[in-house]
Amino acid sequence: MPSSVTLSEVAAAAGVSVATASRALSGKNRVAVATIERVRTAAAELGYRVDPIARALREGSTRIVGMIVPVIGNPYFAQLVDAVEHELHRGGFELLLADSHGELAEEAKRLTVFGDRKVDGIVIVPSDRIASAAAVRAIPAGTSVVQIDRSAGTSLADFVGVDNEIGIALALDHLAERGARSLVYVGADDLTSSGVERWTAFDHGVDRERFAVDAPIRGDFSVATGAAAADALLARGPLPDAVVTAGDLIAIGLIARLREHGVEVPRDLLVTGFDGTELSQLLSPTITTVVQPIDAIAADAIAFLTARIAGSDAPVRRSRVAPSLLPGGSTAR
């Protein structure tokens, strides 16, 4: 329920006008820091709370941003959501989260709900690099959008994600330094932009004079794909020196299934991951992984989004953030 204390009472207690008290509590500019603190102290002492519905009607803004991810159970997306929420709170926005489960119909439904809720902006990890575009284009005019981690079109909306080419190159250089001479790539299929980009980065970036490269194994960004890849590798015959995976969950599934068959990492082969999730460092062995700078990605994405909310009509922008490599036990012989 809204507070029974009025804004006029807060203003009187702080010794300022009602307009100044309103600006101080809304985080708007042109209010001195000392005044903001005085107004907030008075509001806290009186038990005043802003009525979000009334403010939305008054300002034409809900101060809410919707976010859609494909699989909230993926540790990378969970960490990304946390980073995005942190950035939004810094700007005075709240987060409304939805999981599309990687289904186009669910994605479109949640985008419709966000539109009905009159959110100020939407952060989306598209579930399909081509088919998701239609649902994004159907978002009501005036609702700002930023794509994060994955893209459904370079001209569709602003985009922020990791530089996958640099990430794969880091993994390849690391394995060469570790003496690997034969490789297999295990990643996601062509459904998502990140699945395509990481495979392309590997296929174009691997030095085939340096490495013998066997056929790739591609599924999705899951433990199940890693486990299935382990079965496929064992069925092929002699194992490669190393496996480059496109995600930490894939690496985890691969290592676990190999262990079930008596194959140990890194004793029998080396494995690299991608994402830099906290989970990758909690297992034994820890996983050598390409670390996505989640805080930087979230900061850029929300900066793009809030600029659009504020009325920016700049051309569509793209930001590629450079990753780093975190060596772990999965490549330490």
Evaluate whether 64-161+294-321 and 164-293+325-331 have a shared fold: yes
Distance of alpha carbon 272 from alpha carbon 172, whole angstroms: 9
Task: Give backbone dihedrals phi and psi of 6, rounded to 5 degrees, phi first.
Answer: -95, 160
**pLDDT over threshold 80, residue 69:** yes
- The overall average pLDDT reported for the chain is 92
Worst-scoring range by mean pLDDT, 152-156, 203-207, 237-241? 152-156
**pLDDT over threshold 50, residue 1:** no
- State pTM to two decimals: 0.83
Pick the CATH number of 7-59 from 1.10.150.530, 1.10.260.40, 2.70.70.10, 3.30.450.20: 1.10.260.40
Under CATH, what is the fold of the domain 164-293+325-331? Rossmann fold (3.40.50)
Close Cβ partners of 218 (under 8 Å, ≥ 6 residues apart): 185, 186, 187, 188, 189, 195, 199, 225
Residues 64-161+294-321, CATH architecture? 3-Layer(aba) Sandwich (3.40)
Do residues 20 and 31 lie in contact, with contact meaning Cβ atoms separated by under 8 Å? yes
**pLDDT over threshold 50, residue 2:** no
For residues 174-193, give the mean pLDDT. Answer: 97
Distance of alpha carbon 255 from alpha carbon 305, whole angstroms: 39
Domain spans, the chain: 7-59, 64-161+294-321, 164-293+325-331
